[in-house]
Each structure stands twice: as C-alpha cells, then as structure tokens.
Amino acid sequence: MLDLPLAWWAPLGFVVYAAISLRVGSLFPFSKYSMYASSPNRRQGAVPVLLCDGESVSWSAYERISGLRAQDMYPPGLPCSLEWMVLEAMRWVDDHPALAGEPAGPVQLTWGFRILTLTDDHELSEALRVIGTAQAWPRS
Amino acid sequence: MAPELIEPWRHLFGLALAFSWIKSALLTLRAHDMPYTSGVRRGRLPRSRLVPLLGVGAILQLVLIEAWVLGWLVLWLPPLILASQGAVRVIEQRQWPSDHVVRLGKYAPSSAALLAHWVVLGLSGSEAAGWEAAAGVMGATLSLAALAKWREAGANWFKASGMGLLVAERAAFGPAPLRWIRGRVAGSRPLSAICSQVGMGVEAAGVLFVFPSLRLWLAGAVVALLVNFFVLLGYVEEEWMLALIAVTALSTLG
C-alpha cells in the first residue's frame, strides 16, 4: 500500500489527470475541455435559420423535402458556434427526401444564416445570408 | 466518516454516473431526431435495433452503479462501470461521421472522478484518499477548461465581445424570459465582460480544489457558473453539477 499523507492525493490527482488530458486529448474519460475556447477570436457569428413566410420554423415539422441538398447547407468558413444545429438540420434533410416522382411540397422554406456582427463599440448588427430554398410537405 | 453521512453523497455521485450513461443512450437512440436541437426527452423512442441493447445495458449499468454505491466489490465494479460508460460513448459517437460528437464537448467528469477514486483506493487502501484524488480531478477539469481558453484566445477572453457574441447567437432560442436575459447581456458591454471574466476566473480557480478548506466555496461558485451557462448559453450540465457536489461532500465531510 502507498502510504502518502492524505493532503497529497488531491494535488496528485490534479496533476496526473491534467497531464494525461493534455497528452491524449479527447480520450475517455480525459479531455482538454476546449469547447468554445477559441470563440472570442471571432467578430461574427452565424446562426442557422429556417424560414417559412418570414417566420422561423423547425425542420422537424417538415418531410419529403426537395430542392436543397444536405451537403450544400453548411458552406465552409462560416463562424458558427451552433454547429450541432446545422449538422442535425443536414441530417434531417438527408433523412427526409421527397419521394421519387411526386410533386414538390406546397411549403416553401428558406435556409440560411443570420450573420451577427459585434463591433469594437459593442454594436450588434445582423444580416441574413440565404443559402438555399426547399419545398416540403408538412409532417403528418 | 460515518457511513450514514457517506451514503447519500455516494448515491448522488452514482446519480451523476447514471445520468451520464442514460443521456448518451438517449442521444444515440434519437440521433436522427434532432436531439441536440429539440431535446432527448420528447416523444416516443424510435424503433431501432439499438433499443434492446441499450435497454439491457442501462439496467446493467444501474445495477453496477447501485452495487458500487452500497460499497460492494469496490475494487472490481469501477472498471466495469467505466467500460460501460466508455462503450455507450463509442456507440453514441458512431451515430455521427467524423469526430462530430467529440467536438460537441462529450465531457465525462463523473467517470474521470470515479477512475481517480478507484486507482487511489487500490494504491492506498484509503477511501478518503480516493475521494481526495477525485476532488483533484474535478479541479483539473475546470482548470483545463481555463487553460484551453487562454491557449486559444488569450486576453480576448477578458473582452466583452467574445461572450457578447456567444450569448447573442443564443438569444433567439429558448423560453421568452431566457431570451430576454440573453438579449440584455449580449447588448451590454459591461455585463458581457463580467460574465466572461468571472467565468474564466472561476474555471482557473479550479486548481484551488486541491485545498479541502476552499473546496466548498469553490463548488458553490462553480454551481453558480453552471447555472449561468444554462441561463446564457442554454447548456444543462447536470452530470458535472451532481458529480462536483457529491465529490465535494465526500472529500470534505466527516
């Protein structure tokens, strides 16, 4: 048995866990805990948005989607910290294509990103960047 | 420490482990149902060949955790619990191409603390030493987060703009009161700067977790920070909060 003073174990646990984490990165149960670490380097943020008649809606309300390919939905280089929303939206579009030969759905959807810009004076401005449009059916 | 003092906190720690496993399982089963955007608890589970596998796995994991909480086979059960925690994460990550799930921040603080407790219990034969080591690991998870921020963005973390932008991006989502708060914080340079600096400071102070006399105070600050994460950014860090409270209690009571 290793007979160290009780007070030594916490610093030892700290140092060993931190050292292994820095060495191996994201290897369960270790991690560098770096989520969002670089986000303050951005001046812009891209917020994914799906619009129907100008209102924000969710992909999960629609199916049999046509006119928009999943691989075109996330242009490279967008400063997006909500990537999970984009990846899930891409998967949804991929999983719910229009049936072969059927007419395009009656609902017109617009997919894009709200580009938020924060100036040095902490002034927030917003612009919509449309990536594409799709036709879909309301989900039954 | 008297057993009646220890047991509730061991149960709380077990709850953190159980929560972690079940959340991974639900994210796996809902991988095609927009779980991160819409939540994992809504609606019926999809039909999937993984349902029986994860159902049996969940029961086994809960039995193993409860047995460990009750003090049975304390040197034999942790490797099984950790293997099961690792396995459910592998299954979860396989639902996505590339390293997407890893990049979504799949942290495992309760498993990290259990690993430390198990290793040190085996080395020293002392339950108290095991929980001291676990406390050190919990402190390291926080300080590593601060270190990563410093390495990747340096002094930019002390400016208002980074936090302001992060919060502004989330101001369009969630319940109306939270959207209102996020809008106010994002639009205010002083509030954004304070949130960023305090958050960085509390995480950096994780190293102080190695001192038992400071642990309770720091745990309170971290719990407040995790609540702040939920309010401003929308992330619920239940596992982290439960594990932190349990490890703090188990390493300082008695």
The ipTM estimated for the assembled molecules is 0.95
One-letter amino acid for residue A3 of the chain: D
Task: Provide the 3-class DSSP secondary structure of residue A71.
Answer: helix
Task: Provide the 3-class DSSP secondary structure of residue B146.
Answer: helix
Confidence of residue B43 (pLDDT cuts 50, 70, 90): low
The pLDDT of residue B84: 97
A34 and B160 within 8 Å at the Cβ level: the answer is: no
Nearest CA in chain A to B38: A60
Q: Which helix (H) or strand (E) holds A47?
A: strand A44-52
Handedness of CA B124, B126, B127, B132 (dihedral sign): negative
Nearest to B157 among A7, A10, A40 (CB): A40
CA distance B104 to chain A (A): 7
One-letter amino acid for residue B10 of the chain: R
Tens digits of residue pLDDT in B83-133: 999 999 999 999 988 777 777 778 999 999 999 999 999 999 999 999 999
A118 and B163 within 8 Å at the Cβ level: the answer is: no
- Residue pointed to by tokens 């002094």: B155
Which backbone phi and psi does A98 adopt, to 5 degrees? -65, 150
What percentage of chain B exceeds 70 in pLDDT?
96
A1 and B99 within 8 Å at the Cβ level: the answer is: no
A7 and B132 within 8 Å at the Cβ level: the answer is: yes
The predicted model scores a pTM of 0.94
Alpha-carbon gap, residue B30 to A110, rounded angstroms: 25
Alpha-carbon gap, residue B25 to B248, rounded angstroms: 27
B140 and A40 within 8 Å at the Cβ level: the answer is: no
CA distance A75 to chain B (A): 16
Tens digits of residue pLDDT in A102-128: 899 999 999 999 999 998 889 999 999
Q: Give the number of C-alpha atoms closer than 13 A to the C-alpha of residue B94, restricted to the C-beta side.
A: 9
Query: Please, which residues 120-159 of chain B have a Cβ atom closer than 8 Å to chain A?
Result: 120, 123-126, 128-130, 132-137, 139-141, 143-145, 148-149, 151-153, 156-157, 159
Mean pLDDT rounded to a whole number for chain B? 93
A18 and B172 within 8 Å at the Cβ level: the answer is: no
Q: Give the number of C-alpha atoms closer than 13 A to the C-alpha of residue A106, restricted to the C-beta side.
A: 2
Tens digits of residue pLDDT in B171-213: 989 899 999 999 999 999 999 999 999 999 999 999 999 999 9
Alpha-carbon gap, residue A93 to B222, rounded angstroms: 39
Tens digits of residue pLDDT in A4-51: 999 999 999 999 999 999 999 999 999 999 988 998 999 999 999 999
- Tell whether the model's pLDDT for residue B254 goes beyond 80: no
